[in-house]
Structure 1
Amino acid sequence: MPIQSKYSDQKIETILAEVAAVFDKHNASSDLVLMIAGNIATNVINQKISKEQRTVIAEKFAQALMSSIEGSVH
């Protein structure tokens, strides 16, 4: 059963397109984009999530990332 998001696909796609445009503007390589994405995730977890929940949220985020990679084996 797919996970239901509280955000519309249109909102997600709009923000994603805007972020991708910034990376394109700066000719960011794949490794730089991944580094920035990781830094954003780390900052959100450290600034917006309680200390008690950070590890759980980080593990769920990592699991979701692994699940979303094409061709990944679980």
Structure 2
Amino acid sequence: MPQQSRYSNKEFEAAMQDVFDALEKNNANRDLSLMVLGNVLSNIFTQHVALEKREAMVEQFCNVLKRAVKGN
């Protein structure tokens, strides 16, 4: 069963486009883009997720990412 998002498609698409635009503005190639996004993710997990929940959330995120790229 698909998970219902608390964010609208419009909100999601706008935020995602802003990220793409920032990477493009800085001429970020694949490797730089992945480094930047990885550091952003690390910061979000360390600054905005309680320590006792962090490992489980990171694992869940990684599993979702693996499934997403496996399908492409």
With the length of structure 2 as denominator, give the TM-score of the two structures: 0.91
Q: CA deviation at 1:18?
A: 1.2
1:28 aligned partner = 28
CA RMSD of aligned residues (A): 1.3
* Runs of 4+ with deviation above 3 angstroms: none
Q: Which has the higher helix share?
A: 2
1:39 aligned partner = 39
With the length of structure 1 as denominator, give the TM-score of the two structures: 0.88
Provide the identity percentage: 35
1:44-55 alignment runs, 5 A limit: 44-55=44-55
Q: CA deviation at 1:3?
A: 1.2
Count, aligned residues: 72
Query: 1:8-46 deviations in whole A, cap 9, x for unaligned?
Result: 111110111111111111110011111111111111111
C-alpha distance in 2, partners of 1:44/1:37? 10
